[in-house]
Structure 1
Amino acid sequence: MMTWEVLSMIGTVAFAISGAFIAMEEEYDIFGVYILGIVTAFGGGAIRNLLIGLPVSALWEQGMFFNLALMSITIVFLFPGNLLKHWQRWGNFFDAIGLAAFAIQGAIYATNMGHPISAVIVAAVLTGSGGGIIRDLLAGRKPLVLKAEIYAVWAVLAGLVIGLGMANKAVELYGLFAVITALRVMSYTYKWHLPVRKLGVH
């Protein structure tokens, strides 16, 4: 199986689970849980397709990925309640996996279409964080990517590495995936932040 397909599967499952976790924390009903899970898994890809010139309808050809997302959401929804109380730790972890997998997948997509490095980085950021932004907005939260917490920077790093041709082989891409996931986990574990400038209130 191609590296691109494996990363797509990992990202789809991870983001579908992440969306389902947040929907349940917000006490959405079963319909809301499925909607938020699906939107999180496929939102980033839809935005990316629009911006790099692919029809959004390409998403509907990914039947296997939709089935994977639906299965993942169902498993989370049926999870024992005592395990779901740890949702934040697991939700953040699955979000980190999804970010890494989709950022790399988006960068590969743009590279294969012959786009310049700037477009490769944009594709990595949008694919890696687009679904999460839509998820957070639908859940009534401030999107992680727009807060001080380091999030999209790791997608930029993935796009830069791939755009510069520093990771081409399968083993290099999987290594990059592991590094990006680990950096994202460390950034929320140790509360790494980007600088924030607050306006003074008089």
Structure 2
Amino acid sequence: MAWEVFSIIGTIAFAISGAIIAMEEEYDLFGVYILGIVTAFGGGAIRNLLIGLPVTTLWGQDMMFQIALSAITLFFLFPHRLIRHWHRWGNLTDAIGLSAFAIQGALYAVKLDMPVSAVVVAAVLTGSGGGIVRDLLARRKPVVLRDEIYGVWAALAGLVIGFGVVAGDLFLYVLFVVITVLRILSYTFKWRLPFRKLKQSTV
């Protein structure tokens, strides 16, 4: 039950996230649909490739495609005054999608009896893969590759689930809220991972 819920939440959140980026880049309606769909399903496709599942399993998710298309359509038709603060909407839906899909990906790997390392990889790829593809198509630097804390939260979800720290749907929902809040706090307060610059400043 939890796996299905997180699939739906992640699909809606990332479909809207992709639509927001497409509208910001002034894509036409077709481009909005394409970027929304790619964002919603890109992470799952990449995960399937790396853990040995056929990509064709993606095409069996008819209901999820319908949910994604409906979410994109509704958001596109929203009155402008309701989405004028698109940046906040984009960050929020991205945080929700990251959390939901990271947990969903981890649960998927656990269901296949994979080791903890594979569970963490599945969580990171499912949670951030769609966003990576979205940013690349929009000619942006992927959020997960910046010094901003992003993929770490997906890895944390994978570790918690992989080691069996949480058990039962209720605890998974709590984990979903915690990861979402941590992601929101990280971009609100600009938390950063350590990084080094190789470029020398010119005087």
State the TM-score, normalized to the length of structure 2: 0.98
Query: Which amino acid is 2:140 matched to?
Result: R
Please list the CA deviations of residues 4-33 of structure 1 after superposition, one character each: whole Å capped at 9, or x if unmatched: 000000000000000000100000000000
Question: 1:161-195: CA deviations, max 9, x gaps?
Answer: 00000112000100000000000000001110111
| Aligned counterparts of 2:199 and 2:128: Cα–Cα separation in 1 | 30
Q: Distance in 2 between matches of 1:166 and 1:59?
A: 29
Unpaired stretches in structure 2, ≥5 consecutive residues: none
The alignment partner of 1:197 has SS state of coil
Q: Deviations over 1:114-144 (max 9, x none)?
A: 1100000000000000000000000110000
Higher mean alpha-carbon deviation, 191-200 vs 127-136, is at 191-200
Match of 1:174 in 2: 173
Runs of 5+ in structure 1 lacking a partner?
A: none
Once the two structures are superposed, residues 54-76 of structure 1 have per-residue CA deviations (whole angstroms, 9 ceiling, x without a partner) of 11111110000000000000011
Which runs of 4 or more aligned residues in structure 1 lie more than 3 Å from their structure 2 counterparts after TM superposition? none
Counterpart amino acid of 2:174?
G
- Measured after TM superposition, the shift of residue 79 of structure 1 is 1.0
The CA RMSD measured in Å over matched residues stands at 0.7
Q: Distance in 2 between matches of 1:44 and 1:57?
A: 14
Give the SS at the match of 1:154: helix
Secondary structure at the counterpart of residue 123 of structure 2: helix
Counterpart CA distance in 1 for 2:78 and 2:20 is 11
Matching residue of 2:72: 73
Indicate the SS of the match to 1:162.
helix
CA distance in 1, matches of 2:155, 2:45: 19
Structure 1 letter corresponding to 2:164 = G
TM-score between the two structures when normalised by the length of structure 1? 0.98
Q: Distance in 2 between matches of 1:95 and 1:147?
A: 15
The equivalent of 1:102 in structure 2 is 101
- Alpha-carbon separation, structure 1, partners of 2:165 and 2:175: 10
Which residue pairs with 2:25 in the alignment?
26
